[in-house]
Structure 1
Amino acid sequence: MSPPKRHVVFDVVGTCVSFDAYYQRIDAVLGPRLRKETISAQHFGFTWQTAAELEFTFLSISGSYKAYKDVLRGLFYRTLYFCGVAEPRAFATDEERDECIDGYSSLELRPGCRECFEVLRENGFTVWCFTTGDVERVKGYFDRAGVDMPMENFVSCDDVGVAKPALPAYQAVWERLGASDVKWFAAAHMWDVAAATKVGFRGAWSSVYEQEPCLDVFSDAKMEVVAGSLVDMAREIVRRS
């Protein structure tokens, strides 16, 4: 009997790629006006994406799933209002909103992502990506960086029709892999890894995005690896497998 296959499923945006280019695009388009309102581009960008993630999840839970990019677009003016802009539609235009959203297409891989994948593949792991984004855009991050990531190894919440962190989303990926295979889920979002472990994935978290694991909040997470860099996380996965 052949030995079980080994897999690591990665979150992409926030984990393999950073949000820096998105924040930089917002600053280029709206930065001077935002600063007059004492709002930094990064703070607005984080608030906007977080609001979109919240509504994206709520829509999925209520049976009204919409693609994340459409939710992000729809919440632009509301987020400006909650950040303190009294008249959002006089503050920015639809064209400027879309320019800011285009910043998502320019996101770049984090330092160490290439080596992280190399460490895993050299030790017999198959690397997968599970994302809330559309696959064509997300695959482009790897293509531009010259990092091999086969299209067939991408799974999107758009394919599943359920948003993370709903457990059926992870279950769909779990069932795609062999029943007796070794399956890890790796992310820089603690909520993401914590949810994946509930369907059986072995959990690995990197601090490259959130910095603090907040394990008192995620106290029921079955976390086997808590690491600093992506490379350190990969090496720990190999060591514990």
Structure 2
Amino acid sequence: MPKHVVFDVVGTLVSYDAFFANIEKVLGPRLLARNITPKIFGFAWLESSEREFTYLSISSRYKPYKQVFSSMFYRMLWMSGISEPRSFATDAERDEMVASYSTLVLRPGVQETFQLLREAGFEVWALSTGDEERVLGYFQKAGVEFPKSNLRSCDAKGVAKPALDAYRPLFDSFGDDEKWFAAAHYWDVSAAKIVGFKGAYCSIFEKEDCKELFDVDMDVMADTLPEMAKKIIDVSKS
């Protein structure tokens, strides 16, 4: 029977470290002077943007994540305690930090993870909130093979994860094949499991899974991506 693994990309296969480093370069001294660390500002910015992105989607007003992310910048400065956000930073600085999202790099072990799964007979896919060009660029820069035909962006359907309809097209396209969804976001995998995927969760990003919130158990849990791949293969064989 054919077998498939669908990966989330940003946060799972790709680290945010380059984004946080760029914030430190552009705004670090100014933020630290206000007792705001660049990393916590960056985390608040991306998480709040994901919330607005999701809210727009579920109210049938889908906007690409990059557009939402850019628009949220000055609001997040305000929420961080900056009383005059547009005097604190410029549009050019904002645009440089938004552009740094394209410089994110793959996490250690992605190549090994894909190789293990492919050698075990799995087709590897990706489902991302990012636009296709940016996401494919992450793999190309790292020299990791990933066919464009196996990438799906939420932009194509105008439905953001974790809406169940974001997962269903790929799930249904696999018919009766073995179907896995793998991510480093528990909310993401748990939603995919509700649709019918087997779920694989990696703690490399969140550390604490908070699984008591989601009422869904995983088929596989691991601390690294290669370890997760090996466990998926073992469960598939059993």
| Same-fold call, TM cutoff 0.5 | yes
Is 1:184 the counterpart of 2:184? The answer is no
The equivalent position to 1:139 in structure 2, one of 126, 136, 140, is 136
Question: Taking structure 1 as the reference length, what is the TM-score of the superposition?
Answer: 0.97
Question: Taking structure 2 as the reference length, what is the TM-score of the superposition?
Answer: 0.98
The equivalent position to 1:75 in structure 2, one of 72, 76, 95, is 72
Aligned partners of 1:222 and 1:198: how far apart in 2? 11
Q: Secondary structure at the match of 1:127?
A: strand
- 1:127–1:153: 8 Å Cα contact kept in structure 2? yes
- 1:160–1:172: 8 Å Cα contact kept in structure 2? no
Is 1:161 the counterpart of 2:125? The answer is no
Report the alpha carbon displacement of residue 33 of structure 1 after superposing the two structures with TM.
0.5
- 1:23–1:103: 8 Å Cα contact kept in structure 2? no
Is 1:236 the counterpart of 2:234? The answer is no
- 1:116–1:231: 8 Å Cα contact kept in structure 2? yes
The 5 A counterparts of 1:200-215 are 200-215=196-211
Aligned partners of 1:37 and 1:165: how far apart in 2? 35
- 2:117–2:233: 8 Å Cα contact kept in structure 1? yes
Aligned partners of 2:3 and 2:156: how far apart in 1? 23
What residue number does 2:98 align with? 101
Over the matched positions of the two proteins, sequence identity in percent amounts to 54
RMSD between aligned residues = 0.7
Give the residue type in structure 2 aligned to 1:37. Answer: R
What residue number does 1:34 align with? 31
- 2:211–2:217: 8 Å Cα contact kept in structure 1? no
- 2:129–2:155: 8 Å Cα contact kept in structure 1? yes
Moved over 4 A (4+): none
Report the alpha carbon displacement of residue 176 of structure 1 after superposing the two structures with TM.
2.4
Q: Secondary structure at the match of 1:18?
A: coil
Report the alpha carbon displacement of residue 32 of structure 1 after superposing the two structures with TM.
0.7
What residue number does 2:13 align with? 16
Q: Secondary structure at the match of 1:216?
A: helix
Aligned partners of 1:41 and 1:228: how far apart in 2? 26
Residues 155-185 of structure 1, C-alpha deviations (whole Å, 9 max, x = no match)? 00001210000000011221222x1100000
- Count, aligned residues: 236
The equivalent position to 2:22 in structure 1, one of 17, 22, 25, is 25
Is 1:175 the counterpart of 2:172? The answer is yes
Which range moved further: 167-176 or 92-101? 167-176
